[in-house]
């Protein structure tokens, strides 16, 4: 029994943990410079928005609401990832960014991590508008009052990155568990944040589908003459 559990753990998390461990052992904190900058930026926004002089500037550059003009919401969305929600403890946001962004930066690289994080957050932001348009009487709809809810924080990006990293490193059960947990969250507490998490997952799953399709196509394409891997046909 213990052997089968250990075997499952090696298959599920071995490649991922091996990559993260090797990067941290050889480069230490230099392996995650973007993540450290993101943690510092999140802490800075938290400190500023809790001051009389800083609340409004933070709102102006990183606060997104569904009732805002679309162009303004899109302009604020990138920084909204790093503005912690005022009604949640900031340590939770900092821990999420440090852990998940750090793993993603090591496994995916800096720019791909930012791209996936932004895609997931953008899907959640755009979903809020669609959900409000659908109304509360539909399964994927939202009440009109949610248009005034401040929509900030890294949670959608964290969920999206977790699913993407799990796919890239073969941790299928872990990725599936993340999806199930988000579905249960919406069932137990159907609110804007929970449904945005599902929208973020949906966006990342579409990206995964596109990447998997492209990889399958590349595997089936014969190398063209002139490339380094091309060889002339064998004559019998």
Average confidence (pLDDT) per 10 residues, the chain, 236 residues:
75 88 90 94 94 91 92 92 87 92 94 95 94 89 90 93 94 93 91 92 95 83 46 40
Q: What pLDDT, on the 0 to 100 scale, is given for residue 139?
A: 83
Q: What pLDDT, on the 0 to 100 scale, is given for residue 136?
A: 87
Structural contact between residues 82 and 61, judged by C-beta atoms closer than 8 angstroms: no
Owner of token pair 């943690």? 39
Q: What pLDDT, on the 0 to 100 scale, is given for residue 47?
A: 94
Q: What pLDDT, on the 0 to 100 scale, is given for residue 1?
A: 59
Q: What pLDDT, on the 0 to 100 scale, is given for residue 226?
A: 44
């Amino acid at each position: 029994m213990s052997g089968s559990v250990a075997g499952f753990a090696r298959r599920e998390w071995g490649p991922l943990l091996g990559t993260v461990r090797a990067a941290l052992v050889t480069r230490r904190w230099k392996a995650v410079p973007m993540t450290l900058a993101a943690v510092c930026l999140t802490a800075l926004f938290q400190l500023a928005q809790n001051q009389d002089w800083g609340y409004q500037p933070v709102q102006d550059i990183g606060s997104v609401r569904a009732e805002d003009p679309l162009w303004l919401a899109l302009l604020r969305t990138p920084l909204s990832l790093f503005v912690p929600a005022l009604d949640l403890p900031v340590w939770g946001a900092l821990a999420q960014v440090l852990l998940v962004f750090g793993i993603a930066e090591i496994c995916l690289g800096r720019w791909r991590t930012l791209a996936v994080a932004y895609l997931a957050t953008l899907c959640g932001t755009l979903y809020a508008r669609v959900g409000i348009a659908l109304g509360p009487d539909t399964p994927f709809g939202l009440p009109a009052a949610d248009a005034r809810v401040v929509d900030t924080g890294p949670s959608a990006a964290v969920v999206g990155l977790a699913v993407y990293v799990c796919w890239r490193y073969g941790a299928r059960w872990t990725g599936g568990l993340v999806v199930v947990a988000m579905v249960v969250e919406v069932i137990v507490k159907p609110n804007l944040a929970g449904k945005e998490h599902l929208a973020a997952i949906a966006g990342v799953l579409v990206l995964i589908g596109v990447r998997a399709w492209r990889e399958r196509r590349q595997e089936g394409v014969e190398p063209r003459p002139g490339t380094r891997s091309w060889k002339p046909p064998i004559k019998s």
